[in-house]
Chains A and B, each alone.
Chain A
Amino acid sequence: DSGVTQTPKHLITATGQRVTLRCSPRSGDLSVYWYQQSLDQGLQFLIQYYNGEERAKGNILERFSAQQFPDLHSELNLSSLELGDSALYFCASSVPTGGLSSYNEQFFGPGTRLTVL
């Protein structure tokens, strides 16, 4: 158990719908990362939040948005869903970045498997 929790574990929805994926980082971790794993694109970085603020953005679609709340949990919102959005969505957390070392192990949650029908 990595200490990172994600809900729900599975989500089945229809095209055009909107869903929210939730992530709670490990206690004390300030950084939250979202990744998408699909057969087509592999594992891709979507977005990072650090202590409530957006820190880095990857290949995240405009239909997707995220936020990190004061209690450090994060939500990834996916709207106007398309079949191609079906994927495994991971949240990861780590200790604060910006330290002297480039080492910051990221602890991954179990993922949310999204199926868009």
Chain B
Amino acid sequence: AQKITQTQPGMFVQEKEAVTLDCTYDTSDQSYGLFWYKQPSSGEMIFLIYQGSYDEQNATEGRYSLNFQKARKSANLVISASQLGDSAMYFCAMREGRGSSNTGKLIFGQGTTLQVKP
């Protein structure tokens, strides 16, 4: 069964430093997508970055990058130059399937709370 595991319930990072949030996944499907979302205290879910299982290069979006290690089934989020506004809950999510089998539903991990210290 598909599963997402985030083993870090909470993390601290100093402002301007980089931080890595861990995510491992389990799936028997060859085609899948991995997502990271940010949820600030206000509650909304903000899409950050996407990595497809067939993408050869690690995804990057501004200060966010995804360290994708397919053999290890890990998809860690790296935030460079942390800012105070990065303090939030971060969720890793996976969607399985391709084409007609792809319903699009996301399976989420339990989340990691990141606090950026000034």
Chain A residues with a Cβ under 8 A of chain B: 2, 31, 33, 35, 42-45, 48, 55-56, 58, 88, 90, 92, 94, 97-108, 110-111, 113
B105-A111 in contact (CB<8A): no
Known interface pairs A103-B33, A105-B50; A88-B43 also in contact (CB < 8 Å): yes
| A102: chain B residues within 8 A (beta carbon) | 31-33, 52-53, 95-98, 102
A97-B44 in contact (CB<8A): no
A56-B50 in contact (CB<8A): no
Chain B residues with a Cβ under 8 A of chain A: 31-33, 35, 37, 43-47, 50, 52-53, 91, 93, 95-100, 102-111
Most buried by A among B93, B96, B103: B103
Complex CA distance for A58 and B106, rounded to whole angstroms: 10
A/B pair count, beta carbons within 8 Å:
80
Known interface pairs A102-B32, A103-B33, A110-B44; A42-B102 also in contact (CB < 8 Å): no
CB-based nearest A residue for B107: A45
CB-based nearest A residue for B94: A102
B102-A97 in contact (CB<8A): yes
Complex CA distance for A94 and B43, rounded to whole angstroms: 20
- A sample of 19 cross-chain residue pairs with beta-carbon separation below 8 angstroms, ordered by A number, consists of A33-B106, A35-B106, A42-B108, A42-B111, A43-B93, A43-B108, A58-B105, A102-B33, A102-B95, A102-B96, A102-B98, A102-B102, A103-B33, A104-B33, A104-B95, A105-B47, A107-B47, A108-B44, A111-B43
CB distance from B39 to the nearest CB of A (A): 8
Select one of B45, B53, B97 contacting A108, CB under 8 A.
B45
Select one of B53, B104, B109 contacting A106, CB under 8 A.
B104
B99-A100 in contact (CB<8A): yes
Leading 4 A-B pairs by shortest Cβ distance: A108-B45, A56-B103, A43-B108, A97-B104
B52-A106 in contact (CB<8A): no
